[in-house]
Structure 1
């Protein structure tokens, strides 16, 4: 039985995968089921990902573009990157376009969404995922894969929005956004609110945070746990 037949498909795109695409998908999805990262984080392959979307409603808005930058440990690979604009049946609102700059024409003439997502999965397979305010991007990507590919993509992401205050508590009070943290470390980016540029900025922030990781934070799992503890602590004090 094909992997995609295991899921109920409510979108016509999810039922239109060719045999070749379904075969690619079956081989790729196993590489995205990894939730355990016992490798020394200094040797861990990672991918920083950012999305541009049609809005902030996780249930109803769509992924417009994906940008990713890859690296290993404390090294980023400028030549290892991925970028795609997913073709939309209808362009997002004018106010939304003003934020990310992806024109209606670009949206309507983008890449086939099936191919774009398959190519992204191929680029990011088996890597440690990271982002800033990662939960939104993780859920948007998960929903896109469910709607377009017919799969349940359940990934674990390291959220730098929680790791940063965990290792630099002295900046936690006045640093809330990615821009705030970039300013603290003097990280200049050529543009913001553009998927590949934001993925690049997030990767540079990851490198900037690494020297402050505790000595007993040895593996990818340890780093994830540190960020999750900070998230739980913040929620406790907010409750």
Structure 2
């Protein structure tokens, strides 16, 4: 008879191994008994060992569950051939689900571009892959909205251009924040040739993406961007 008060640990695992060896080497054993305090934990293991619960034993202020096997009905050789040792093995380790969405730099840049275009459409922004990134998760309060956080991060990254690259700040603000209906209308509002406007817009978007990419990699506030061309 073997009694267990604790859950599996190196010492109890060694004791189980010695008990199994004893069962297999005993030639005339009629019954074996296992006794455990935590039935919810031990019952599955003991049933895998073909020791079903047969009753309870009072001990002190608690009750132990008694498990038994009749070796006359199922002798060691038969028991060894039929026991499911795989059920006794620990479950294989599984990879932990990543906490954040991992984007390549190309995917990240494309997502930033689309997010800027959707800045005034929170319903569209709700589908952005950037919502699962580290920069958004770390900047979102416990009861906050990831969409609002992403809008704030985009606005902050654009505002960072105000001093170092005012022409790029103006082109982004006119295009995405101040309600220009088309890029042609934004270029006209800025009094820029359309080709110049497009060049500035591409460069400005690249600077915003670079700013946010550093924040995503470093897990900290985005740094300022250089003046560009």
Common fold: TM-score over 0.5: no
Q: With structure 2 as the length reference, what TM-score do the two structures score?
A: 0.25
Name which structure has the greater RCO, CA cutoff 8 Å, separation 6+: 1
Q: Which has the higher strand share?
A: 1
Q: Larger Cα Rg: Structure 1 or Structure 2?
A: 2
